[in-house]
Structure 1
């Protein structure tokens, strides 16, 4: 089994050197007289529009550090990563990935920040706004295939042919180190919440985590199960058109699914990450799917609370609405749900 033993202090030390790093806010919404919903809003994380920056940027920095150590035989101190010497060394490196949008922006941002190059494969279903944003970040953008999976295959072939560094946010047999770094970056979110809940002693009873390949859901679940004092019920939320983690759980092994293209574009992944699968399979989680209509309705309901997002970003809220009726008889002190807005509504 592939082990995942992250240290959230490593990515936190990296991000604390950036002026853009801020702890994203938690907001409380009164759903009813009995239910107060906690919302962790990742829409403005690092000014990139989503939580993905925590993974892609940190992984780029870590892999550049690895390259430095490989060349010079000594580890790179965190404080040295932004020096001209490192930028000069990184200028010979190119990071290649496939993306449904946000991961590519994270990788391109990290590459430009540290002096490297990036090449991002997008499927035809990715909104044009992401391509525009990537070009502003000096990334080379290549449109390939009608699905995320097709663009991923193209990125893998590119890395093999050009010797570029493949930085995928999914994992499969023989490929797990770079995505494990991405997931380590995501652990910052769970650690921020841990520190907040330790101060307030207001621990959630139910956590809703949306999932594509499962990197975010897997990293959050690992941290919750290993570092939170009070253990909640965890729900993994997927589109009805792409329930690859649910199918994998039921099959007892990583399993691909087929389905129509979902409007929850950043969650529309038909193949699970094996790292995420291994974590979730041993973490006592539940699985929920949401429909296109449910996710769309959730975006409008959140907008009424001043929270602007997309169907992908609202999927956790859609699952909460769908699931809350089963907890309707619980007292307020027992039912303390938390959801995550994983991206803002920057798609045009």
Structure 2
């Protein structure tokens, strides 16, 4: 399914709060925070010239978030950054002065952090980031996971010392349960989705993602003309689209939001013209994107700066994983998890549809940017879907680089 943005707010300026959250100054501050992380390094940007020829576009560049801060996904930028911000703010309140990131490991700050517990719901990646951030500052983490989260992903979060809590139902149900329990116990909810009255913290999570866009803009040889980004509740899509709009202005690229067909809450929200909660159906293989209600903050941004919304099917996502694992020509091999290649899957589907190509002005001169949002965060599932272990794909990639 494909839909151009028909919202009355389309192309209107961002809400001032969102403009401040996602602007250049905020992104520079995120990068300053990252500079204090011991394992921080910019993630690579790869060119896929052979695939570009195959799809009939001028260039394809993919930002590979599979190595981000040792967590395997872009989510590492959001949850941990927010936890650090909130700890420093609380330290500032208790100490009666501004506390900067350089003081994060001081005894005074760690003593304050030790009395704080951060909670969230997760499909896997966001919870890992919150747990890592809590461990880094000496705080506690309580992570809620629904029944669809694999044991392997649960173990990957628990290794950071987090308390793991299983919740019945879907991701959205686990969000509600995390909020309920946190309210009872006085925990701080660090959610990547927002609801009425709860917007600042999800905004900080989105703000963390802008560092990825800053890196990409420095790495790209030319400004992109088209960007395809996958969406769950919409946080990363809104962060990327919003920052590009604010930093590039009238030169910003055409931005396409890509949803799983089985969890297309943003597509249906765009079609309705307002946030909608869709029915839970058969689970999607794109587990990190299996969300049935959009983030209100993300929708507020995307209603203004997204140009189109589309869906991809299960086989599209699996084909994109395999396309990146077994590249055409001399393109590099890339390990992309089930959700990681969904943006590329959107491009592949759009490029094959003459109607969509015309609607997006997608042609042989187009320079397309996509993001591999996660590596093989569940290696066994990856092996099942690709027929190769992720380490074997990575070895092939290293061999090609050599």
TM-score range, shorter chain: over 0.9
2: CA distance, partners of 1:336 / 1:225? 17
Query: Could you tell me how far 1:307 is from its partner in structure 2?
Result: 1.1
- What is the aligned partner in structure 2 of residue 273 from structure 1? 295
TM-score (structure 1 length as normaliser): 0.95
Equivalence for 1:39: 62
The residue number in structure 1 matching 2:123 is 100
In 1, the alpha carbon distance for the partners of 2:105 and 2:242 equals 30
4+ residue runs of structure 1 moved beyond 3 angstroms? 32-35, 326-332
- 2:342 pairs with 1:315: yes
Q: In 2 relative to 1, CA 144–89 (structure 1 residues): closer, same or farther, beyond 3 Å?
A: same
For residue 23 of structure 1, what is the aligned residue in structure 2?
Answer: 42
Cα deviations by residue, 1:316-348 (Å, 9 ceiling, x for unpaired): 11111000133499653x211111110001303
Once the two structures are TM-superposed, the CA of residue 261 in structure 1 deviates from its matched residue by 1.4
Shift of residue 180 of structure 1? 0.7
Partner Cα distance (1:248, 1:228) in 2 = 26
Give the equivalent residue in structure 2 for 1:70. Answer: 93
Structure having greater relative contact order (Cα 8 Å, sep ≥ 6): 2
Equivalent residue, structure 2, for 1:237: 258
1:220 maps onto 2:251 in alignment: no
Number of residues of Structure 1 aligned to a counterpart in Structure 2: 344
The unaligned stretches of length 5 or more in structure 2 are 1-14, 328-332, 381-402
Q: TM (normalized to structure 2)?
A: 0.82
Is 1:159–2:159 an aligned residue pair?
no
**Deviation at residue 70 of structure 1 after TM alignment:** 2.1
* CA deviation after TM superposition for structure 1 residue 309, in Å: 1.6
RMSD after superposition: 1.6
d(CA) in 2 for partners of 1:58, 1:135: 19
Aligned counterpart for 1:207 among listed residues 223, 227, 230: 227
Secondary structure, in 3 states, of the residue corresponding to 1:52?
helix
Q: How does 1:1-348 map to 2 (within 5 A)?
A: 3-4=17-18, 5-6=20-21, 7-29=26-48, 30-33=50-53, 34-35=56-57, 36-197=59-220, 200=221, 202-228=222-248, 230-258=251-279, 259-305=281-327, 306-325=333-352, 326=354, 327=357, 332=364, 334-347=365-378, 348=380
Residue 194 of structure 1: CA displacement?
2.1
> 1:2: how far off?
7.8
Q: Residue 135 of structure 1: CA displacement?
A: 1.6
Question: In 1, Cα distance between the equivalents of 2:105 and 2:215?
Answer: 24
**SS in structure 2 of the partner of residue 241 of structure 1:** helix
Gapped regions of structure 1 (runs ≥ 5): none
More helix by share: 2
Distance 1:309 1:65, change over 3 A: same
SS of equivalent residue, structure 1 residue 172: coil
